[in-house]
């Protein structure tokens, strides 16, 4: 049985997107390796805060029907550079039970093991659903702070939480909450003011996401906000210099209770639209590393919709925040022109259907970003299909598989696997010209 400290994948308790035919051996192999990762490794593999993706990777390729040997290989490729989690401190964990003391440990990665033990204990005592509601969705100052931190680190804590919820693994949820706790609070300077500003627009229809993307692309002031020299272009550029303009755009999107499924699909479609379309005609097709996270996170919003313990108001809030994050993320890479035709006219290296694409993704040697992107694309193709005739859905049914092919063709060509900050000329300087491939 899966608990706050025990990982156990059970066939029959399927995630929102998976390939039928997963065998028991794969479930056992993934469970064992995820347990080893949970027990031994820190959520950051270095002091700079680079994320441990083992849980993401193994859960994704398990869902894509990877065999036990491929799951083991994926683990071996990435375990060597992880750092030890270290023991928790009983006294510190006890002090965290006081909300005032709890806050004093936030944002300090040396306390990851303590936060992990704290949330494991909370989950085993109160149930993971109650813990997530209390610490993320209660709309207290502490919960709002932790929810904002979940959007930091390019959505990594939220992605991790999504994996835990989608795959019904309380121990992964404990990791996600601890991960959020050791991230910084900078997203609160954008998400909370944008939410407050949005209250002024609730009497008007929501703007379509792609219309807002068009306007952000044309906004010269916002275009100038992020600098190539910024250490974090979202934090320093958009939130640091362009917050007022960004909040103006972000606050024009909102969700009504009867729109949750459609707006979830719209969010997914728009994230894929700018992630796939941010290409240079003279350069090899590449996917932006930062935009990719917005797509990879999208699959979990279908899982959130399925949770009866999560209130409608919080489902709406989570989706609105995700869209506002995605708009800001687009702007943070200097709002590149979106050229989806560059994908549409491309010929794949290895033509196939989805089975072939997913087989390649499940065995590709990286840290899991590729397989996550392919699974999110396959899921997006399903949930967007009912709405493809709508103008706000610019990625059509015929686009999803070609997009997936270009992802794999790009990464299989070798390093660099991703372009970083696709709106900047500097990001493309060392990317090969397309004619040379």
Q: Could you list the residue range(s) of the whole structural domain that residue 37 is in?
A: 1-184
Cβ-contact 267, 316 below 8 angstroms: no
Instruction: Please count the structural domains in the chain.
Output: 2
Domain boundary among 151, 184, 217: 184
Domain boundary among 184, 207, 224: 184
Nearest to 161 by CA among 148, 174, 152, 149: 174
101 and 216 share one domain: no
345 and 316 share one domain: yes
Write out the two tokens for 315.
């489902």
Q: Which residues contact residue 425 at a Cβ distance below 8 angstroms, ignoring those fewer than 6 apart?
A: none
Domain boundary among 184, 203, 238: 184
120 and 217 share one domain: no
Q: What is the pTM of this model?
A: 0.97
Angle at 243 between CA 237 and CA 249, to 5 degrees: 115
Q: Which residues of 322-352 are buried (b: 16+ CB within 10 A; e: fewer)?
A: bbbbbbbbbbbbbbbebebebbeebeeeeee
31 and 164 share one domain: yes
363 and 301 share one domain: yes
- pLDDT in 10s for each residue of the chain, 437 residues: 899 999 999 999 999 999 999 999 999 999 999 999 999 999 999 999 999 999 999 999 999 999 999 999 999 999 999 999 999 999 999 999 999 999 999 999 999 999 999 999 999 999 999 999 999 999 999 999 999 999 999 999 999 999 999 999 999 999 999 999 999 999 999 999 999 999 988 889 999 999 999 999 999 999 999 999 999 999 999 999 999 999 999 999 999 999 999 999 999 999 999 999 999 999 999 999 999 999 999 999 999 999 999 999 999 999 999 999 999 999 999 999 999 999 999 999 999 999 999 999 999 999 999 999 999 999 999 999 999 999 999 999 999 999 999 999 999 999 999 999 999 999 999 999 986 44
Write out the two tokens for 367.
């840290």
123 and 197 share one domain: no
């Amino acid at each position: 049985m899966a608990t706050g400290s025990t990982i156990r994948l059970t066939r029959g308790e399927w995630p929102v997107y998976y390939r039928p035919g997963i065998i028991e051996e794969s479930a056992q192999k993934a469970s064992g390796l995820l347990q080893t990762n949970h027990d031994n490794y820190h959520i950051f593999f270095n002091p700079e805060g680079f994320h441990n993706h083992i849980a993401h990777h193994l859960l994704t390729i398990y869902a894509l029907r990877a065999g036990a040997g491929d799951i083991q290989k994926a683990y071996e490729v990435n375990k060597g550079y992880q750092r030890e989690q270290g023991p928790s401190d009983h006294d510190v964990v006890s002090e965290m039970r006081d909300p005032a003391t709890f806050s004093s440990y936030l944002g300090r990665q040396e306390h990851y093991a303590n936060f992990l033990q704290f949330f494991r204990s909370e989950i085993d005592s109160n149930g993971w659903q109650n813990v997530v509601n209390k610490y993320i969705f209660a709309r207290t100052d502490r919960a709002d702070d932790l929810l904002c931190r979940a959007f930091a680190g390019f959505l990594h804590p939220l992605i991790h939480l999504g994996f835990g919820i989608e795959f019904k693994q309380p121990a992964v949820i404990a990791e996600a909450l601890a991960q959020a706790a050791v991230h910084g609070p900078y997203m609160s300077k954008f998400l909370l003011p944008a939410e407050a500003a949005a209250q002024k627009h609730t009497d008007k229809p929501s703007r379509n996401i792609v219309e807002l993307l068009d306007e952000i692309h044309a906004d010269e002031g916002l275009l100038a906000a992020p600098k190539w020299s910024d250490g974090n272009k979202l934090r320093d550029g958009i939130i640091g210099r362009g917050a007022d303009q960004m909040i103006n755009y972000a606050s024009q999107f909102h969700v009504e209770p009867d729109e949750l499924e459609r707006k979830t699909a719209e969010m997914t479609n728009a994230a894929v639209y700018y992630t796939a379309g941010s290409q240079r005609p003279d350069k090899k097709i590449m996917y932006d590393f930062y935009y990719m996270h917005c797509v990879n996170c999208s699959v979990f919003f279908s899982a959130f919709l399925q949770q009866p313990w999560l209130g409608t108001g919080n489902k709406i809030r989570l989706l609105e925040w995700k869209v506002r994050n995605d708009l800001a993320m687009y702007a943070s890479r200097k709002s590149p022109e979106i050229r989806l035709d560059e994908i549409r006219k491309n010929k794949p290296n290895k033509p196939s259907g989805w089975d072939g694409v997913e087989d390649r993704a499940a065995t590709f040697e990286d840290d899991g970003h590729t397989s996550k992107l392919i699974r999110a694309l396959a899921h997006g193709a399903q949930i967007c299909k009912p709405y493809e005739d709508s103008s706000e859905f610019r990625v059509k049914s015929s686009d999803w598989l070609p997009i997936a092919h270009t992802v794999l063709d790009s990464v299989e060509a070798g390093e660099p696997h991703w372009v970083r900050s696709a709106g900047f000329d500097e990001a493309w300087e060392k990317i090969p010209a397309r004619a040379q491939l």
